[in-house]
């Protein structure tokens, strides 16, 4: 591999600006790029300006409600994406292969209510592979973070990522039998409005009540806490503090042993699902392949 001279290095643009350009080019949105990078939109715009000044040409055409890549931007975007992919692969190779460390990142509820109960069987099958489980609600940047695999909910369309659907992220009300009995039982959807609603600002509630033919316009004005994770809301519901709206696949045990009840068959579905994702370029890495095959087999059971 040829060495880079100091002159060549000095000609490279700032890495931060290139990183921001890559995100904006993938999303074709300053707002979504800012969200991915945890930056303000103003900071994103500034980094793009820095890069455009360095290059001496505009990289994006700003149009009402959208941006598009210029000819210069179209030439630069694939090269930048490939460079980050190469860096990511090299970094992953240094961190180890199948007999090393597998870092899995997912949302808290999937980790605590589904994955943690089953991960032992994967460790038994792959004793030389240590698993580090991290929980986060933000999107994973595989090119810059240590994660090998992510499990997230969404539409399943992420550029550059291989995505395997696990199960639908549907939603339906659940509550404790004791809370239901406190009003003589929950016999029709409108009965739920007589009880405390956990996280009444959750958009799922309006969607479910609308599908049930129940007017629930006062929900947003109700006092209530936003707990940030279904696992917390389920624990509050089990304790009898209110009705939670939850994904069925994540609370099978609680429904089976009666800690929670699902009073109605009606289930909402906004098209989202839980997905196993990883970079397309790493699909054949042994440790990723091992975890993928194990997880898909567990889901199929």
Question: What confidence tens digit (pLDDT) does each residue in 62-77 have?
Answer: 888 889 999 999 999 9
Per-residue pLDDT, averaged over 183-209, amounts to 94
In this predicted structure, the answer to whether residue 269 has a pLDDT above a threshold of 60 is yes
The answer to which of 3-7, 11-15, 93-97, 218-222 has the lowest mean pLDDT is 3-7
Looking up tokens 């499990």 gives: 151
> What is 172-256's CATH superfamily?
Periplasmic binding protein-like II (3.40.190.10)
In this predicted structure, the answer to whether residue 6 has a pLDDT above a threshold of 50 is no
Top-level class of domain 6-93: mainly alpha
Quick one: pLDDT at residue 95? 55
Residue predicted with more confidence, 10 or 174: 174
Q: What are the residues whose beta carbons fall under 8 Å from the beta carbon of 161, sequence distance 6 or more?
A: 142, 277, 278, 279, 280
Alpha carbon distance 240, 294 (integer Å):
36
Percent of the chain scoring above 70 in pLDDT = 92
In this predicted structure, the answer to whether residue 8 has a pLDDT above a threshold of 70 is no
Average predicted confidence (pLDDT) for the chain: 88
Question: What confidence tens digit (pLDDT) does each residue in 118-168 have?
Answer: 999 999 999 889 999 998 878 777 777 788 999 998 888 888 889 999 999
Read off the pLDDT band of 15 (50, 70, 90).
confident
φ, ψ of residue 210 to 5 degrees: the values are -60, -45
Same fold, 6-93 and 172-256: no
Q: 96-168+272-300 architecture in CATH? A: 3-Layer(aba) Sandwich (3.40)
Quick one: pLDDT at residue 94? 59
Read off the pLDDT band of 195 (50, 70, 90).
very high
pTM of the full predicted structure? 0.65
Quick one: pLDDT at residue 283? 86
| Three-state secondary structure string covering the chain | CCCCCHHHHHHCCCHHHHHHHHHHHHHCCHHHHHHHHCCCHHHHHHHHHHHHHHHCCCCEEEECCEEEECHHHHHHHHHHHHHHHHHHHHHHHHHCCCCCEEEEEECHHHHHHHHHHHHHHHHHHCCCCEEEEEECCCCCCCCCCCCCEEEEEECCCCCCEEEEEEEECCEEEEECHHHHHCCCCCCCHHHHHHCCECCCCCHHHHHHHHHCCCCCCCHHHCCCCCCCCHHHHHHHHHCCCCEEEECHHHCHHHHHCCCCECCCCCCECCCCEEEEEEEHHHCCCHHHHHHHHHHHHHHHC
- Decide if 130 contacts 100 (C-beta within 8 A): yes
Beta bridge partners of 135: 106
Domain boundaries, the chain: 6-93, 96-168+272-300, 172-256
Read off the pLDDT band of 185 (50, 70, 90).
very high
Most confident of 33-42, 170-179, 201-210, 276-285: 170-179
In this predicted structure, the answer to whether residue 201 has a pLDDT above a threshold of 90 is no
Alpha carbon distance 297, 293 (integer Å):
6
Quick one: pLDDT at residue 267? 97
Quick one: pLDDT at residue 91? 65
């Amino acid at each position: 591999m040829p060495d880079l001279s100091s002159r060549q290095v000095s000609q490279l643009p700032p890495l931060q600006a290139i990183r921001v350009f890559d995100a904006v080019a993938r999303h074709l949105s300053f707002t979504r790029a800012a969200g991915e990078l945890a930056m303000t939109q103003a900071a994103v715009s500034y980094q793009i300006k820095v890069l455009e000044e360095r290059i001496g040409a505009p990289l994006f055409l700003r149009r009402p409600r959208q941006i598009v890549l210029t000819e210069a931007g179209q030439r630069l975007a694939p090269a930048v994406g490939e460079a980050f992919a190469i860096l990511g692969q090299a970094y992953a190779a240094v961190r180890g292969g199948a007999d090393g460390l597998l870092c899995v990142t997912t949302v808290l509820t999937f980790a605590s209510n589904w994955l943690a109960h089953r991960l032992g069987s994967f460790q038994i099958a792959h004793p030389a592979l240590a698993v580090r489980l991290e929980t986060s609600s933000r999107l994973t940047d595989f090119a810059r973070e240590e994660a090998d695999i992510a499990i997230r909910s969404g539409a399943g369309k992420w550029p550059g990522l291989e995505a395997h659907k696990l199960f639908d992220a549907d939603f339906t009300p659940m509550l404790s039998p004791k809370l239901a009995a406190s009003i003589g039982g929950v016999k029709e959807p409108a009965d739920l409005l007589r009880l405390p609603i956990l996280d009444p600002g959750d958009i799922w509630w309006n969607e479910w009540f609308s599908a049930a033919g129940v007017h629930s316009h006062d929900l947003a004005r109700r006092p209530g806490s936003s707990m940030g994770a279904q696992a917390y809301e389920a624990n509050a519901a089990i304790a009898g503090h209110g009705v939670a709206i939850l994904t069925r696949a994540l609370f099978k045990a609680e429904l089976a042993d009666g800690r929670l009840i699902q009073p109605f068959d009606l289930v909402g579905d906004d098209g989202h699902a839980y997905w196993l994702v990883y970079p397309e370029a790493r699909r054949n890495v042994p440790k990723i392949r091992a975890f993928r095959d194990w997880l898909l087999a567990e889901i199929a059971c």
